[in-house]
Homo-oligomer: A and B are copies of this chain.
Amino acid sequence: MFKINDNFLKLPGSYLFSTIARKVSEYKSANPDKEVISLGIGDVTKPLVPAVIEAMHKAVDEMGTAQGFHGYSPDLGYEFLRKAIAKHDYEKRGVKLDLDEIFISDGAKSDCGNIVDIFATDNRIAVTDPVYPVYVDSNAMAGKTGEYDKDKEAWTDVIYMPCTAENGFVPAFPEKTPDIIYICCPNNPTGTTLTKAQLQAWVDYAIEKDAVILYDAAYEAYIHEDDVPHTIYECEGAKTCAIEMRSFSKNAGFTGTRLGFTVIPKELTDPTTGAQLNSLWARRHGTKFNGAPYIIQRAGEAVYSPEGQAQTREQIESYMKNAKTIRDGLSGAGYTVYGGVNAPYIWMQTPDGMSSWDFFDKLLTEANVVGTPGSGFGPSGEGYFRLTAFGTAENTAKAVERICKL
C-alpha cells in the first residue's frame, strides 16, 4: 500500500498567494463593477524591455532553423549567460567566481524550494520573521520543521528571528544554534536591508557555528544606498558558508518569463564529510531539472547588454518612484511605514492594532486595494501589511489616495 508524504497534511491552509488570489477572485465575481487595484503579490507590470524582446525574437528565429536549433541545454546553463553573470554581478563587485559555481534555473522560487533536497532532514533552520513563505513551506514538506502549532502560527522546530520596528528589522543571533540560516536582503516582505557590517557579522556567526547561509538576493537591483551589500560574497569568508540565489523577475520583469540562478562556491563544504555542496547541487540539477529554455537564457543575456542595462535600470527607477509615492502618501496620512528605499516593498503598520487579515479585508472591500497581510509571512508579521511598488504609476497613486481616505 503506498503512503503519501504526510508532512503535506501538516501545512496550514494553502500557499499564501493562492489564498489571496482566491479571495480577490471571489470579491471581483461578487462585485463586477468595482475596479480592484493590486499592490499585493510581488508581480511586475511593465513590459519586457526592447533589448530583451529583440534577443528573444532572434533566438526564436534560430530555433526555427536547422543550424540555429538548440536542444537540451548544458547541465549548468549556457556559458554565454553564466559569463555575463560572473562579469556583471560579481567581478564588478570584486568577487571572482568560476563558471561552474553558477547554476542557471527557471527562477529563484524553484531554487529556494529545491535547495532543501541537498540537506539532511535533521538540520534546524532559522528564518527571519516575517519571511518569504517558500523557505519554511519547502522545509515543512520535507519534514524538517517539526509540528505546526496553530495557536502560535509557528512550526515547533523552526527558529524564528523576529524582525520588527523594535529591532530595526535586523535579526539578533538566536538562542538556539541554527544549522541553516535563511537571509533575504533586500528583504521580502519588509523592504529593509542589512548593512555590510551587519551581514558580515552573520557570515562570521555562520562560520563559527558551521552553519550555512541561504542568501536570497532577488531584490539586489533595487539597492540605492551605498552601505548595502549587492552580494553576500562581498563579505569576507562568505564563500565558505553561503549559497546565493538570484532572480531575473524583479530586475528585468521576468516573473512570467522565468529565469534565475544559484551560486554555490566550491569552498563551501560539508563539515562532516568534506563533500562540496556544489557537487551535490550539480547532481540534483542534472537529475531533476533539464535547463531553462534556450530562448529565455538568451533573454537573460540581453539584460546584461548596455541597452538592456539602461532599459531595465529605467524600469527599476520608475518602480522606485511608486515606492516613494506610497511611502510619502501613507506617511503624510499618519501611517507608519518602512522599506521602499532599497526595495520595491513598503511595510506598513496596520492602523489601530488591527489584525493584518482584517486590514486585508477592509482594504479589499472598502478601498478595492489588494495588499498582503503581514501575518502571512510569519508570526512577527502580524500587525503589518505589505504593499508593492510594481503597479503602474497611475494605479499606485490612485490606491494610495483610496487608502488615505479610509
Contacts and interface: CB of A to CB of B under 8 A. Distances in A.
B141 A293 contact: no
Contact of A295 (B56, B61, B71): B56
Interface size class of A (residues with CB under 8 A): 35 or more
Contacts of A69: 45-48, 253, 256
A113 B8 CA distance: 18
Contacts of A3: 119-120, 122-123, 179, 270, 272
B47 A288 contact: no
Given A2-B271, A122-B3, A283-B14, A138 B257 contact: no
Given A106-B290, A256-B73, A290-B110, A5 B118 contact: yes
Interface string A218-232: 000000000000000
A287 B286 CA distance: 21
Interface string A120-138: 1111000000000110011
A351 interface: no
A288 B56 contact: no
A285 to B, nearest CB: 9
A53 B45 contact: no
A53 to B, nearest CB: 4
A288 B63 CA distance: 29
A71 B272 contact: no
Interface stretch (A168-176, A188-196, A205-213): A205-213
A137 B290 contact: no
Contact of A14 (B46, B133, B286, B296): B286
A6 B120 contact: yes
Contacts of A255: 71-72, 290
Contacts of A117: 5, 141-142
A179 B4 CA distance: 10
Nearest to A297: B256
A68 B45 CA distance: 10
A267 interface: no
Interface of A: 1-6, 8-9, 11, 14-15, 17-18, 41, 43-48, 50, 53, 56-57, 60-61, 63-66, 68-73, 75, 106-107, 109-110, 113-114, 117-123, 133-134, 137-138, 141-142, 179-180, 209-212, 253, 255-258, 270-273, 275, 277, 280, 283-284, 286-296
30 contacts: A1-B271, A2-B212, A2-B271, A3-B120, A3-B270, A4-B120, A5-B117, A5-B280, A6-B120, A15-B287, A18-B75, A45-B66, A47-B64, A50-B64, A53-B61, A53-B64, A69-B256, A71-B255, A107-B290, A109-B289, A110-B289, A113-B289, A114-B288, A137-B287, A141-B288, A256-B294, A257-B293, A257-B294, A258-B292, A296-B296
